Amino acid sequence: MRPITEVAEELGLDRESVIPYGHFKAKIELSAIKKGGRRGKMVVVTGITPTPAGEGKTTTTVGLTQSLGRLGKKVVATLREPSLGPIFGIKGGGTGGGKSLIQPEDEVNIHFTGDAHAVASAHNLLAALTDNAAQRGQVDGFRPEGMTWRRVMDVEDRAIRSIIAGVGGSNNAPLRETGFDIVTASEIMAILALARDLENLRERISRIVVGYTGDNKPVTAADVNAVGSMMALLRYAIQPNIVQTTEGQPVIVHAGPFGNIAHGCSSVVGDRLALGYADYVLSEAGFGADLGFEKFMHIKARFNDLEPSAAVLVASVRAVKYHGGVRPRDLDTPNEEAVQKGVENLEHLIGVIKSFNLPVVVALNHFPTDTPAETAIVKKAAEEAGAFAAVESKVFAEGGAGGMELAQALLEATEGEDPEINYAYDVEAPILDKVQALAKLVYNADGVQWALPARRLRRQFEENGWGNLPICMAKTHLSISHRAALKGRPSNYTFEVSDIRASVGAGFIYPIAGNIVTMPGLPGSPRQLDVDERGNILGL
């Protein structure tokens, strides 16, 4: 690894704006964000519907960044910060793989610069202040039973999803039913990723709804006098972090909101910083295109001048076979019939991206067990579905050298003027119409069915003046639909909304379809980490 000050200086950042955390990672002061427009082109990297086989989205993003660097382009990747939950669970780290890594991968994956800890501290401080205000009657009409703000921690722990707090007498009050979410599900994490500057961060935090009075009036973080103290805890967390790829290109890794109940994208300030210095910025969106890409467009890009010039859609033959009905243990066995069936997922998501008037380059992440015939089926289907190009990528095994054809295709796709974006809905439309538009275009449903409690809350949110917020759909990431078992391209079904909630500070409404867990549990065999005698982490 090169000293991070050298990487930052090569990008064009002033030494005074770089705040090193050790030798190989640093924070960048917000004053380094260039005013008055952007230099580079934005490219959003997304994927087909996730599978146990792994599509290699982060690996592709990092490898493509290296490939563009080899072509002489000044390029930056912008990614979410990994969470400790997946590290000790089943997913593993969030720094790529093979010869396409973010470095230092051990530090990025474990603690990093402390942003997640700052978010957890601010979130739990707000919980404590809310409890205190409700217990002491400091807000008229606000009682413990009206509180909705839960607590968070960064490790998967199913035992605290639902708890009774305040047991043991009046000294421990208020007594109430509550629970914990994982830090990435915190509204504050979503706010951190969407805030444009410190003042905008303050405005968003002040709007957070922590509960309701007896007559259903929202109570905010401002009402419980929490905003200033929370800002004190978040003042450095809003600064983007810079690290590097295996081949030395800069990577901005900042903020890590959940891809379900939040938007699953890295920070606005990180993208804005990168666009002022780079020719190309590759920004990865969480989960598949039905979640991360759609939310990137409607929640992040639309309101922050971050509309992309193109999209890269990551797929693999193994993932396509899984959507064609092959079990995970059989994915290494050639099966052209399953590939032919599974490409319908890829075809649908190409159509979703093209509906926004964006060119799509399909990156077909290569695995050693792929056969030429299977690869040819996927490429042909992608091109016939309207992809600008479908290119095999070998960046895991070969680094930047394995993505040169992919990089060249992306350069050709982004030549000339940027496209004018078509959005799926008018943001001023009623909540009902916005969800209906997403259900038909993105989830391929015939219509939407709302549970009675969700209908009542929807009307209440519109009466509160929140109806003009964008939609952030909370649903399974394992299917285009709301049911994880439905693979490929589900059709002829009704999309079912069971609940609806408001993240007013973050600035979106999130309907809930299906059973969404905001505090995952550990698997039967959690990941085991250790350190050697020199303090190096083992087991990542």
pLDDT of residue 85: 80
Run of H or E including 131? helix 115-136
Output the six-digit token pair for 247.
């081949």
Per the DSSP assignment, residues forming a β-bridge with 362 are 313, 390
Run of H or E including 26? strand 26-28
Residue 87 has pLDDT above 90, yes or no: no
Compute the average pLDDT of residues 290-314. Answer: 97
Query: Using CA atoms, how far apart are residues 415 and 472, in angstroms rounded to an integer?
Result: 31
Query: Using CA atoms, how far apart are residues 396 and 403, in angstroms rounded to an integer?
Result: 9
Confidence of residue 91 (pLDDT cuts 50, 70, 90): low
Run of H or E including 19? strand 18-20
Query: Using CA atoms, how far apart are residues 123 and 58, in angstroms rounded to an integer?
Result: 28
SS3 236: coil
pLDDT of residue 8: 97
Strands 151-153 and 180-182, sheet pairing: parallel
Q: Identify the CA nearest to 149 among candidates 175, 118, 181.
A: 181
Q: Give the Cβ contact number of residue 196 at 10 Å.
A: 19
Compute the average pLDDT of residues 116-138. Answer: 96
Return the half-sphere exposure (C-beta side, CA atoms, 13 A cut-off) of residue 440: 9
Residue 90 has pLDDT above 80, yes or no: no
Confidence of residue 537 (pLDDT cuts 50, 70, 90): confident
pLDDT of residue 525: 84
Output the six-digit token pair for 215.
């007559």
Specify the residue for token string 């470095």: 103
pLDDT of residue 440: 98
Domains of the chain: 4-114+237-413 (3.40.50.300), 115-234 (3.30.1510.10), 432-512 (3.10.410.10)
Top pLDDT among 226 and 91 is at: 226
Residue 528 has pLDDT above 70, yes or no: yes
Per the DSSP assignment, residues forming a β-bridge with 252 are 78, 242
Instruction: State the average pLDDT for the chain.
Output: 95
CA 398, 104, 33, 505 dihedral sign is positive
Instruction: Kindly state the DSSP code that residue 292 receives in the 8-state scheme.
Output: I
Query: Using CA atoms, how far apart are residues 4 and 14, in angstroms rounded to an integer?
Result: 13
C-alpha radius of gyration, the chain, whole number = 23
pLDDT of residue 37: 67
Q: Identify the CA nearest to 446 among candidates 484, 481, 470.
A: 481
SS3 469: coil
Confidence of residue 522 (pLDDT cuts 50, 70, 90): confident
Compute the average pLDDT of residues 73-92. Answer: 86
pLDDT of residue 54: 82
Residue 92 has pLDDT above 80, yes or no: no
Specify the residue for token string 């922590």: 210
Q: What is the pLDDT of residues 340-383, one digit of tens each?
A: 999 999 999 999 999 999 999 999 999 999 999 999 999 999 99
pLDDT of residue 236: 97
Compute the average pLDDT of residues 1-20. Answer: 96
Q: In degrees, to the nearest 5, what angle opens at C-alpha 493 toward C-alphas 185 and 364?
A: 65
SS3 11: helix
Q: Identify the CA nearest to 27 among candidates 226, 190, 209, 270.
A: 270
pLDDT of residue 441: 98
Q: What is the pLDDT of residues 11-29, one digit of tens each?
A: 999 999 999 999 999 999 9
Query: Using CA atoms, how far apart are residues 383 and 362, in angstroms rounded to an integer?
Result: 9
pLDDT of residue 432: 98
Query: Using CA atoms, how far apart are residues 320 and 314, in angstroms rounded to an integer?
Result: 11
Residue 79 has pLDDT above 90, yes or no: yes
Output the six-digit token pair for 502.
């408001």
pLDDT of residue 514: 87
Run of H or E including 282? strand 280-284
Q: What is the pLDDT of residues 264-283, one digit of tens each?
A: 999 999 999 999 999 999 99
Cα 263 → chain centroid: 5
Amino acid letter at 65? T
Q: What is the pLDDT of residues 445-483, one digit of tens each?
A: 999 999 999 999 999 999 999 999 999 999 999 999 999
Which distant-in-sequence residues (6+ apart) come within 8 Å of 362 by Cβ?
Answer: 312, 313, 314, 315, 346, 350, 378, 379, 382, 387, 389, 390, 391
Residues counted in the chain: 540
> pTM score, two decimals?
0.95
Q: What is the four-CA torsion angle of 234, 236, 238, 244, rounded to 10 degrees?
A: -140
Instruction: Provide the percentage of residues in the chain whose pLDDT is more than 90.
Output: 89
**3-state percent breakdown (helix, strand, coil) of the chain, nearest 5:** 40, 20, 45
Instruction: Kindly state the DSSP code that residue 479 receives in the 8-state scheme.
Output: S
Q: What is the pLDDT of residues 157-205, one digit of tens each?
A: 999 999 999 999 888 888 889 999 999 999 999 999 999 999 999 999 9
Residue 84 has pLDDT above 90, yes or no: no
pLDDT of residue 65: 98
